[in-house]
């Protein structure tokens, strides 16, 4: 996986900057009574939690002057693509973290070969920026990553966030050929992820583009994601989530779940996936839950204004995900909406609502769905809906027709 900056774009290399600051607006906390469509104007943020007026997401933070810590000044770091720069970068991080003024970790032009990078807080610096002008290159030896990840940032508020880091922004990054999840964000509040370009081969397993969980007030915006797994996966404990303007493909779609695999999982609520495109993906809008699950819920979820191009399962609820255990899923799905979804599919079953027999779905609504068949079935050239325990309502233009109640 490589992270690069756009100053080198003229040289034919994706080059992007990671800008992180705690001076971003806090997201508005939404009560369960908010319809996700109403939230679109508010989810960009407001000053303070629980109130205030919506703000323009383009508003800039106050200017902050940073002390620059250049990793090239910390041996053995060297941007030649050959020297292991891990120790030098970590020495530079320690200086950034323990500075009592706003600080910038600068990774200058060059190719910086590294093993695990564990950027861990708490830090004394009130604001931290990590600016990547060159290329971070992961070592090819798997033994260099004993904990199974490459770059971990934890307990650093106002930073590129992977864990326990609040009020954060991640933008303008390029991820290429990750060995696992490209980005995992959890146990955080008020996070904006925008303008990412993520690519992994379509046959690469478990290479989710962005996975989130146990998180609140998150915006995933304006990005291209093509992987061998979910473009975006929304795990348990996710509340007040906006996913908007995502180009997904290849991959397994934008998924809620999988949910219910572990006993400690908690509810998901208030999720809006809006204005996204799916190109030759296995799934489009998907909700998936395990058998033999704890009694949790996923509530107030809306997929709207989606374009599908040759997607196998454009709309799918699968509560029989991984059916190795006989007990039906106990994840209760309610207030689930699919609105204005159009395009093509190479499956005759364009809408599959396979809910749990133990806790049937409640409040599932589909409105204005138009999905045309483009597959190779010469006998059946139309699309169909398939429903089990779904209690679904259908309205507007429906192609395929809704399930008979």
Closest CA to 267 of 233, 302, 297, 235: 297
Q: Among 157, 167, 211, 252, which one carries the catalytic annotation?
A: 252
The burial class, CB within 10 Å (0-12 / 13-18 / 19+), for 58 is exposed
- Please state whether 402 falls in left (phi above 0), alpha (psi between -120 and 50) or beta: beta
| Interatomic CA distance for residues 294 and 284, integer angstroms | 26
**For the sheet containing 103-107, what is the strand order?**
67-70, 103-107, 128-132
Beta bridge partners of 215: 188, 238
**299 among known catalytic residues:** no
**Positions marked catalytic:** 252
């Amino acid at each position: 996986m490589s992270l690069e900056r756009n100053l080198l774009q003229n040289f034919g290399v994706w080059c992007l900057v990671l800008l992180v600051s705690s001076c971003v607006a806090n997201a508005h906390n939404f009560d369960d009574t908010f319809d996700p469509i109403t939230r679109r104007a508010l989810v960009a943020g407001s000053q303070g939690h629980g109130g205030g007026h919506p703000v323009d997401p383009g508003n800039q933070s106050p200017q902050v002057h940073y002390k620059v810590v250049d990793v090239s000044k910390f041996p053995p770091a060297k941007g030649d693509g050959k020297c292991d720069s891990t120790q030098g970068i970590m020495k530079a991080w320690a200086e950034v973290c323990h500075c009592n003024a706003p600080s910038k970790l600068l990774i200058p032009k060059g190719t910086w070969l590294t093993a695990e990078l564990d950027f861990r807080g708490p830090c004394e610096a009130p604001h931290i920026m990590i600016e990547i002008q060159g290329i971070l290159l992961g070592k090819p030896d798997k033994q260099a990553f004993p904990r199974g990840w490459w770059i971990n940032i934890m307990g650093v508020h106002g930073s590129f966030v992977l864990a326990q880091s609040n009020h954060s922004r991640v933008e303008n990054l390029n991820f290429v050929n990750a060995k696992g999840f490209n980005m995992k964000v959890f146990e955080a509040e008020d996070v904006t992820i925008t303008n990412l370009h993520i690519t992994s081969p379509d046959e690469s397993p478990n290479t989710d583009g962005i996975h989130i969980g146990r998180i609140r007030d998150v915006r995933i915006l304006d990005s291209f994601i093509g992987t061998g797994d979910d473009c975006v996966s929304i795990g348990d404990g996710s509340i007040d989530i906006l996913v908007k303007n995502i180009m997904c493909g290849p991959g397994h779609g934008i998924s809620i779940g999988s949910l219910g695999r572990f006993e400690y999982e908690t509810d998901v609520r208030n999720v809006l996936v809006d204005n996204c495109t799916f190109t030759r993906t296995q799934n489009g809008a998907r909700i998936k839950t395990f058998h033999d699950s704890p009694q949790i819920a996923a509530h107030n979820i809306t997929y709207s204004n989606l374009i599908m191009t040759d997607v196998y399962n454009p709309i799918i609820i699968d509560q029989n995900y991984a059916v190795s255990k006989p007990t039906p899923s106990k994840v209760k799905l309610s207030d689930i909406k699919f609105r204005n979804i159009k395009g093509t599919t190479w499956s005759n079953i364009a809408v599959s609502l396979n809910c749990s027999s133990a806790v049937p779905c409640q409040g599932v609504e589909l409105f204005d769905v138009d999905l045309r068949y483009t597959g190779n079935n010469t006998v059946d050239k139309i699309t169909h809906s398939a429903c089990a325990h779904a209690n679904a309502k259908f309205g507007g233009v429906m192609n395929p027709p809704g399930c008979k109640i």
